[in-house]
Amino acid sequence: MSKALQSMKQIHRYSWVSLVVCWVIWVLNAYDREIVLRLGPSISKTFNLSPDAWGVMAAFIMIALAILPIPGSALSDKYGGGHKRAKFQVPLIIGVATLSFISGFKFLSHNIVTFFALRFGVNLGSGWAEPVGVSNTAEWWPKERRGFALGVHHTGYPIGSLLSGIGAAAALTWFGSAGWSYAFFFTLIVAVPVMLFWVKYSTADKIDTLYADITAKGLTPPDIVTGGADRPRGLLKKVLANPRVTATAGTTLLTQIVYMGVNTVLPLYLYNVVGLSMAESAAMSVVFAFTGIIGQVLWPTLSDIIGRKVTIIVCGVWMAISVGCLYFATTSLIVVVVQLAFGLVANAVWPIYYAAASDAAPEGGTSTANGVITTAMFIGGGLSPIIMGRLVGLGGGWDSSTGYVYTFMFMAACALLGAIIQIFVKQPPIVHSTGKRGSQVPA
């Protein structure tokens, strides 16, 4: 039996604890990021925004996610991997959660300038935190199980997305349409105790014990550099010169246009065309999160066996077909069915992209490689609301179904193009671990 199929009983408890902590962090990150999109109809109504204006505002808030991943992840690599990366995470996560909490106060959030500034700041930190968290997860698991670990880690995103829909619906139900900002209060309450535990738990002794256990069981420990003088030079240049990283980054950008497009358009489509209330549209727009949880374990685990490239292509084609089927989503039932199909791959691709970048990263550059993927992702995420707003406007505005159809077809084309790019990526042969350091794993 291959190492990728061996029992999970082989995995040390330190790996599992780290996965749980990083998963919770990812749930909080997803909630803070997605909540603005869930509240799209309420925010547009509060500030009297046209489709183009809302698209531009959402785009600038989302483009903030792309600003710090590369320099921030490079700084994280410089500080050090393994146990040191957790200590780097703590002030970052607590700072983001605190800023989000502050933006929940109505006297701040109902001023368009302060609302924009606060949410821009939240997403600056959120984008920075993503590759750091992904790298932290990868560095506590054997290479042969990297796809599985990052897949389970990323199930936190659809759950955070789902919670953002529930949080938005609850705030609107309890406090009315003017109380939408109260949905921002949640994350700080959870972030503080979790991060205080993590900084105490993540120690050099645990990493040493874990890596010795991984080696003893015939698996391959991650390659980490503790930082400082040991850190290799020119990592960013080496990462950008690697076609496996850059091609995957291109696919990531296109896929994020699709994912963010669905998140931007669907609540507005449900409210303005299908005819649901604001609270109902917020809740109904995250149905895909249910199957997203399944997909984020299934596909990344499969990528450990059949390779990253093949898995990414299959998921891209699946995404193109399912998002194109939103064209037929004229009733609540059809919306639910299509979202469930879309959800099976909607969230699954990100851990595969990160696993591919981690596999291809030069020594000591895991977070830097993941930072390139994150930056590409958020460039796509920033462009998406602008494109979607323009297409909706061209189709007749908020109340016309034509513009939404334009967005569905455009997103399907982006997903298909992302899959086509992967055809030209050279994938090394899949050789499962023999128990020796440096053996190959799926690329």
Position 230 scores a pLDDT of 54
What b/e readout covers 253-272, taking b as 16+ CB neighbours within 10 angstroms?
Answer: bbbbbbbbbbbbbbbbbbbb
DSSP string, 230-260: GSPS-HHHHHHT-HHHHHHHHHHHHHHHHHH
Instruction: Write out pLDDT tens, residues 129-180.
Output: 988 888 889 889 998 888 889 889 988 887 898 898 888 888 988 998 888 9
438: exposed, middle or buried (C-beta count within 10 Å: 0-12, 13-18, 19+)? exposed
Q: Residue 295: which of 344, 354, 351 has the closest Cα?
A: 344
328 vs 3, higher pLDDT: 328
Residue 164 is given by DSSP the state H
Structure tokens at 121: 């700041």
Report in angstroms the alpha-carbon separations of 367 from 134, 235, 256, 442. Answer: 8, 10, 20, 19
Number of CB atoms found within 10 A of residue 431's CB = 11
CA separation for the pair 133, 23 (Å, rounded): 9
3-state helix, strand, coil in the chain (%, to 5): 80, 0, 20
* H helices present in 307-365, as ranges: 308-324, 332-346, 349-360
List of residues 6+ apart from 275 with CB closer than 8 A: none
Mean pLDDT of 363-386: 85
Do 213 and 204 form a contact (C-beta atoms < 8 A)?
Answer: no
Instruction: Write out pLDDT tens, residues 248-264.
Output: 999 999 999 999 898 88
CA separation for the pair 174, 311 (Å, rounded): 43
Instruction: Write out pLDDT tens, residues 425-442.
Output: 876 655 444 444 434 444
Do 59 and 385 form a contact (C-beta atoms < 8 A)?
Answer: yes
439 vs 368, higher pLDDT: 368
For the chain, what is the mean pLDDT? 85
- Report whether pLDDT(11) > 60: yes
Do 222 and 77 form a contact (C-beta atoms < 8 A)?
Answer: no
Report in angstroms the alpha-carbon separations of 214 from 140, 153, 333. Answer: 10, 19, 47
Position 374 scores a pLDDT of 85
Report in angstroms the alpha-carbon separations of 285 from 271, 339, 404. Answer: 10, 8, 14
Instruction: Write out pLDDT tens, residues 192-224.
Output: 999 999 999 999 999 999 999 999 998 888 876
Q: Residue 29: which of 131, 171, 139 has the closest Cα?
A: 131
Do 35 and 184 form a contact (C-beta atoms < 8 A)?
Answer: yes
Do 24 and 190 form a contact (C-beta atoms < 8 A)?
Answer: yes
CA separation for the pair 269, 401 (Å, rounded): 8
Do 160 and 26 form a contact (C-beta atoms < 8 A)?
Answer: yes
Instruction: Write out pLDDT tens, residues 21-57.
Output: 999 999 999 999 888 888 888 898 899 988 888 888 8
90 vs 431, higher pLDDT: 90
CA 186 to chain centre: 19
Do 34 and 162 form a contact (C-beta atoms < 8 A)?
Answer: no
Instruction: Write out pLDDT tens, residues 93-138.
Output: 999 999 999 999 999 988 999 999 999 999 999 989 988 888 889 8
Do 277 and 124 form a contact (C-beta atoms < 8 A)?
Answer: no
Q: Residue 153: which of 29, 66, 36 has the closest Cα?
A: 29
CATH architecture of 13-226+235-423: Up-down Bundle (1.20)
Position 95 scores a pLDDT of 94
Do 232 and 363 form a contact (C-beta atoms < 8 A)?
Answer: yes
13: exposed, middle or buried (C-beta count within 10 Å: 0-12, 13-18, 19+)? exposed
Q: Residue 244: which of 166, 354, 341, 349 has the closest Cα?
A: 354
Do 296 and 154 form a contact (C-beta atoms < 8 A)?
Answer: yes
Confidence at 5, pLDDT banded by 50, 70, 90: very low
